């Protein structure tokens, strides 16, 4: 998890206009196996984005800046399929495991 946090910090710094020291994979490449094998979808993206907004609010960030953050990250949602697109391919265990993983963050 430490390595993932380091990647996230570098990625977010670059995404929000800071120095680009991010050398990791693209968002699509980094999540491809989770999308294909575990059913990661736009519902999970929404949950993570919600955590981001809640964290920023909890830190007292101004709403106009939070709106800018949402504007920057929202296009990334297109990488993730809708839950309906894969619902027939997922088992209940896969969906429950993905929900558990997202709740742990």
Number of structural domains the chain divides into: 1
Domain range enclosing 91:
2-104
What pLDDT sits at residue 26?
A: 83
Rounded to the nearest 10°, the torsion over CA 68, 70, 72, 75 is -150
- Predicted confidence (pLDDT) per residue in 61-97, tens digit: 999 999 999 999 899 899 999 887 754 455 555 556 5
Q: What is the per-residue pLDDT for 105? A: 46
pTM of the model: 0.69
| pLDDT (average), residues 43-56 | 92
Task: Determine what percent of the chain is predicted with pLDDT higher than 70.
Answer: 81
Residue 57 reports pLDDT greater than 90: yes
Mean pLDDT, rounded, for 6-32? 81
CATH of the domain at 84: 1.10.490.10
Question: Alpha helices of the chain — where are they, by DSSP H?
Answer: 2-15, 27-38, 42-58, 63-73, 83-86, 92-104
Q: 27-35, long-range: CB within 8 Å, 24+ apart, which pairs?
A: 27/76, 27/79, 28/79, 31/79, 31/80, 35/79, 35/80, 35/81
């Amino acid at each position: 998890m430490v390595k993932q946090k380091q990647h996230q910090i570098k990625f977010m710094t670059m995404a929000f206009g800071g120095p680009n020291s991010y050398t990791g994979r693209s968002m699509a490449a980094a999540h491809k196996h989770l999308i294909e094998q575990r059913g990661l979808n736009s519902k999970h993206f929404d949950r993570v984005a919600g955590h981001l907004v809640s964290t920023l609010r909890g830190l007292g960030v101004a709403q106009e800046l939070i709106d800018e953050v949402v504007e920057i990250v929202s296009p990334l949602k297109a990488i993730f399929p809708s839950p309906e697109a894969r619902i027939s391919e997922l088992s209940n265990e896969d969906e429950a495991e993905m929900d558990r993983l997202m709740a742990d963050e």
